C-alpha cells in the first residue's frame, strides 16, 4: 500500500499537479514548455510515433506536428490523466503508472472517447523540479 | 512549474476536494449548497446559458431548471473534473484551469460522453473557505 | 465545506492514492492484492453481482471471474475514479463518495464509455492502513 507519510503525500499532490499542467500544455500546443517538463535526453515511447523519440527537440517537433494535424482536421483533443500511482525507489526516482483518456471533439460536432491509454513514467528531479526521464504509453485498443 | 512548497501542495489537495464536493452537489441537484460554493456576486458564464448569471439566486434557479429538465428526460449527468492547474496571484486569489467531462446516462439505456469542457475559475477565500468568484466554461464541441 | 486542516488534506491525498492503486490492481486482475485493500469481512455490493459479496475469498473469486470473462471477450476495462469526496466521522471512519467511469476497449477495435457509476465506501484503518469495510456501487444507466 502507499507509503502514507506526510512527505510522500505532499509529493503525491505535487505529481498530480505536475501532470495537470503538463497535459494542459500539450493540449494547448505549447510545445516548448511541455518539452521542458521532460529531461534533456528523455525517451518518449508512444503508439502514435513509429519509434521512440529521444530529447527535447524531437518532443517539440512531435507536438507541433500533432497540433497542426488537429487544427487542420478541426478537432480538439484533451488528455485527461488519472489513477496516478507512485512508487519511490531508494534513490528518490519515482515510477509512476497512470491512465489517460483522450477525448476528441469536432467543432460543431460531438465529443467522444478517442483513446484509453496506460502511461508508465520515470520521474526524476532536476534543480528541484519534477521531470519525465522516460515515458512509455500503451493503448488499450491495440493488441 | 507548480510551486512545490508544503503550503501550496496542501492547498492543491484542498482545491481538488472543493471541486469534488461542488460537482457532486451539482449532480445531486442540491442547488442551495452548490450556490454557496460561489461568492454572493459570482459571475457564472457557461455555454448552456444565454448570458452570464450573476449572484446566487440566479445560480440556484439555473441548477433547479437543469435538474428538472434532466429528471423529465430520464437522464443523469455526472460532472467529472480533473487536470486541475492552479496559479496563485500575489494577493492569494487562485486562477484555476481544469477540464470537465460531462457523462450522460439514460435509465435503462447507455452511458456516453456528453460534453468535454474547459473550466476557468477565479477562487477566493471567504471566512477561510474557498469560493468561486468567477467561472468561465467553454465547450470543445463549439467553434 | 471540506475540513481544510493539514491533517485532513494529507489524508485526502492518501485516499486518492489508495484508490488509484486499488483500481489498477483490479484492472490488472491482481485479485489477491486487490482483495487485501478490503477488510476481512468487507461487504461489496455492486450491480454486476446478483447479491452482495462478504469477505475476501468472495472478492477474489469475483475479480478472477470478471477478469477471465474479459480476456475471453478480448476486452480491456479501466476503472477511472474521481470526484472523491470524504466525510470523517467522530471515530475516524471515512465515508467516501466518488464517481467511477469504466472504459472498455476491444483489441483492434475502439475504446468507449462502458459504465458511469457512483461508489459509496466506508473506509477504516487496519494496522495504520486504509481498508474498504463496505462498498456500494450504483450504475447511472440502471433505473
| A2: nearest CB among C18, C106, C107 | C18
What's the pLDDT at C32? 98
- Digits of tens for pLDDT over chain A (143 positions)? 455 678 899 999 999 999 999 999 999 999 999 999 999 999 999 998 899 999 999 999 999 999 999 999 999 999 999 999 999 999 999 999 999 999 999 989 999 999 999 999 999 999 999 999 999 999 999 98
Q: Which chains touch C (3 or more CB pairs under 8 A)?
A: A, B
Closest CA to C53 of C70, C67, C28, C35: C35
pLDDT at B1: 47
Q: How many C-alpha atoms does A19 have within 13 Å on its Cβ side?
A: 27
Residue for grid cell 513509429:
A50
| pLDDT, tens digit, 9 for 90 and up, residues C53-73 | 999 999 999 999 999 999 999
Interchain CB distance below 8 Å, A18 and B12 = no
Chain B residues with at least one Cβ partner in A under 8 Å = 1-2, 4, 6, 9-10, 12-13, 16, 82-86, 97-99, 101, 113-116, 118, 139-143
Rounded Cα distance, A20 and A29, in Å: 14
Concatenating the DSSP letter of every residue in B52-75 gives -EESHHHHHHHHHHHHHHHHHHTE
Helix residue ranges per DSSP H, C1-143: 6-27, 31-35, 56-73
Q: What is the pLDDT of residue B66?
A: 95
Q: Is the pLDDT of residue B2 over 60?
A: no
Give how far Cα B128 sits from Cα of A142, B62, B123, C27, Å: 49, 27, 12, 40
**Residue B134 confidence (pLDDT):** 98
Chain B residues whose beta carbon lies within 8 Å of the beta carbon of residue C114:
111
Q: Which domains does chain C have, with CATH numbers?
A: 9-139 (3.10.450.50)
What is residue B114's predicted lDDT score, i.e. its pLDDT?
98
Please tell me the distance in Å from A62's CA to the nearest CA on chain B: 21
Closest Cβ–Cβ partner in A16, A37, A108 for B143? A108
pLDDT of residue A127: 94
Q: CA-nearest residue of chain C to A11?
A: C13
pTM for this structure? 0.96
Across chain C, what does the average pLDDT equal? 95
Examine the pLDDT at C75 and tell me if it is beyond 70: yes
Taking the CA of residue A57 and the nearest CA in chain C, the distance in Å comes to 31
SS3 B19: helix
pLDDT for B3 beyond 80: no
Distances (CA, A) of C12 to A14, B26, B76, C129: 13, 21, 27, 14
Average pLDDT, chain A: 95
Length of chain C in terms of residues written: 143
Q: What is the pLDDT of residue C80?
A: 98
pLDDT tens for each residue of B77-116: 999 999 999 999 999 999 999 999 999 999 899 999 999 9
| Interface confidence (ipTM) of the complex | 0.95
Amino acid at each position: 500500500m502507499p507509503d502514507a507519510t506526510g512527505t510522500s503525500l505532499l509529493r503525491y499532490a505535487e505529481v498530480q499537479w505536475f501532470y495537470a499542467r503538463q497535459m494542459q500544455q500539450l493540449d494547448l500546443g505549447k510545445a516548448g514548455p511541455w518539452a521542458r517538463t521532460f529531461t534533456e535526453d528523455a525517451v518518449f515511447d508512444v503508439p502514435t510515433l513509429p519509434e521512440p523519440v529521444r530529447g527535447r527537440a524531437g518532443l517539440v517537433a512531435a507536438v507541433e506536428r500533432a497540433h497542426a494535424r488537429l487544427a487542420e482536421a478541426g478537432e480538439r483533443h484533451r488528455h485527461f490523466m488519472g489513477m496516478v500511482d507512485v512508487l519511490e525507489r531508494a534513490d528518490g526516482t519515482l515510477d509512476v503508472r497512470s491512465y489517460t483518456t483522450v477525448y476528441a471533439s469536432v467543432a460543431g460536432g460531438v465529443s467522444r472517447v478517442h483513446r484509453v491509454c496506460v502511461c508508465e513514467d520515470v520521474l526524476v528531479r532536476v534543480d528541484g523540479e519534477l521531470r519525465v526521464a522516460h515515458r512509455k504509453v500503451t493503448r488499450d485498443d491495440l493488441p
